[in-house]
């Protein structure tokens, strides 16, 4: 299934880069794969970007269930920062 970026993705990507993250956009992979692969302080994070009221698609739910690692969902830049840097004081 073809994927498209949520309207807040560009802002979140730029904000993560500003705090020193390396960000690879995976949106076009599709098939439920999370939107971002983020490297920060020696760790990798898979982050699904969602708009405020958006829900996971069926493909995304299936991907999250089958993935044997961590994956997070962020609706805002503050949430994304809280995922990669919990000590920043930003919400997770």
Q: Tokens for 50, please give them.
A: 């969602």
The proportion of the chain whose per-residue pLDDT surpasses 90, expressed as a percent, equals 82
pLDDT digits 0-9 by tens, 50-66: 998 889 999 999 999 99
Output the pLDDT for position 90. 67
Set out the domains of the chain in order of their start, with CATH numbers: 9-85 (3.40.1350.10)
The winner for highest mean pLDDT among 2-6, 15-19, 27-31, 87-91 is: 15-19
pLDDT digits 0-9 by tens, 31-41: 999 999 999 99
Distance (Å, whole) CA 21 – CA 67: 23
Q: Tokens for 19, please give them.
A: 């705090």
Whole-prediction pTM value?
A: 0.90
């Amino acid at each position: 299934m073809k994927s498209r970026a949520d309207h807040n993705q560009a802002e979140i990507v730029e904000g993560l880069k500003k705090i020193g993250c390396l960000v690879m956009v995976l949106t076009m992979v599709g098939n439920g794969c999370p939107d971002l692969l983020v490297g920060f302080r020696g760790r990798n994070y898979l982050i699904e970007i969602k708009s405020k009221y958006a829900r996971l698609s069926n493909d995304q739910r299936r991907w999250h269930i089958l993935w044997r690692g961590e994956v997070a969902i962020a609706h805002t830049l503050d949430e994304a920062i809280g995922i990669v840097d919990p000590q920043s004081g930003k919400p997770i």
